[in-house]
Structure 1
Amino acid sequence: MIHLEKTKGRVHLVLDACFMGEDIVVMISGGDRPHLGTISAGARLEPMQTVQLQNHKEFYITEEVAVRLRKHFRGNFAVLSGTHLDNASKEEINWMTEMAIELGDALIEQLKGKTS
C-alpha cells in the first residue's frame, strides 16, 4: 500500500494505492465529502475506459492520472476519484485538480524502477 497526502489552503487530498498482484488500484479522495465519482481503468496496451457516476466531473483527474500511469506501469490499473469541497472557489477547484495530478505523478515516481 502506498499512501500520499497533499494540502493547500482548505484543500486536503489523499492518494492511496494498493496492489492486486501485478495490478494497481489508485484512489484519490479529499475535501469535505470524499466519494466515488469517476473511475478510469485500463492496461498498457488496451484502450482506457472511464465510468462517470451521476454528474461527477473527476474524470479530469482520473483520465489524466491514468494516461500518465500507463506509460510507466505494466499491469492493469484503475484510478478512482471523488473530491468535494463545500463552497469551493474556482481557484480551489483548480487546486484540487492540480494537486490530484501531482499526487499521481508522485505515485509514478515511487513506482519507477519497480514496474517499468
Structure 2
Amino acid sequence: MIHIHKNRGRIYIQMDAYHMGTEDIVILISGGDRPHLGTITAGTQNQPLQTIQFQQHQEFYITEEIAISLRKQWHGNFAICGGIHIDQINREEINQLIEMVIEMGNELTLYLQK
C-alpha cells in the first residue's frame, strides 16, 4: 500500500493506493469533514476514461485529473475512488484542495515509477 496525505488549514486529505496483482491499481482519495464515495474513475492507457458520479458529487474533477496524469505512466488498469466533503468550503479552499490532489497524484506517479 502507498499512503500519501496533505494538510493545509482545515483541509486534510489522503490518498491510498493498493496494487492488485502486478499490473493494476486502486486509488482511494478521501478527507474533509465527511469522507465518502462520490465518484469513481476507471481507465487504462488504451481506452477512454469511464467515470461514475453518485448523486450530485463533484469529485470527478479530481479523479479525472489524477486519471489523465496516471494513464500517461501506468500500463495496467486503474480505478480511482474519491470522496471529500468540507463543510462550507469556499473558492480559495477549493483551489487549494485541487492543488493538493494534483501534488499527491504527482507523488504517486513518482513512487510508481520506482
The TM-score bracket by the shorter chain reads: over 0.9
Aligned length: 113
Q: Are residues 1:108 and 2:92 paired?
A: no
Deviates more, 1:15-24 or 1:97-106: 97-106
One-letter amino acid of the counterpart of residue 54, structure 2: L
One-letter amino acid of the counterpart of residue 25, structure 1: V
Q: Which residue of 2 aligns with 1:5?
A: 5
State percent identity of aligned pairs. 56
Q: Which runs of 5+ in 2 are unaligned?
A: none
One-letter amino acid of the counterpart of residue 10, structure 2: R
**Distance in 2 between residues matched to 1:6 and 1:83, nearest whole Å:** 13
**Distance in 2 between residues matched to 1:10 and 1:57, nearest whole Å:** 19
**Distance in 2 between residues matched to 1:77 and 1:96, nearest whole Å:** 22
Q: In the TM superposition, what are the counterparts of 1:26-65 in structure 2 within 5 Å?
A: 26-65=27-66
Q: Which residue of 2 aligns with 1:14?
A: 14
Q: Which residue of 2 aligns with 1:88?
A: 89
After superposition, the CA RMSD in angstroms is 0.8
Counterpart secondary structure, 1:71: helix
**Distance in 1 between residues matched to 2:72 and 2:17, nearest whole Å:** 17
Structure 1 residue 94: Cα displacement: 1.4
Counterpart secondary structure, 2:100: helix
**Distance in 1 between residues matched to 2:83 and 2:29, nearest whole Å:** 7
Q: TM-score, normalised by structure 2?
A: 0.96
Q: TM-score, normalised by structure 1?
A: 0.94
**Distance in 2 between residues matched to 1:34 and 1:28, nearest whole Å:** 9
One-letter amino acid of the counterpart of residue 24, structure 1: I
Residues 48-70 of structure 1, C-alpha deviations (whole Å, 9 max, x = no match) = 10111100001110001001000
Residues 19-53 of structure 1, C-alpha deviations (whole Å, 9 max, x = no match) = 11120001111100000011110111111101111
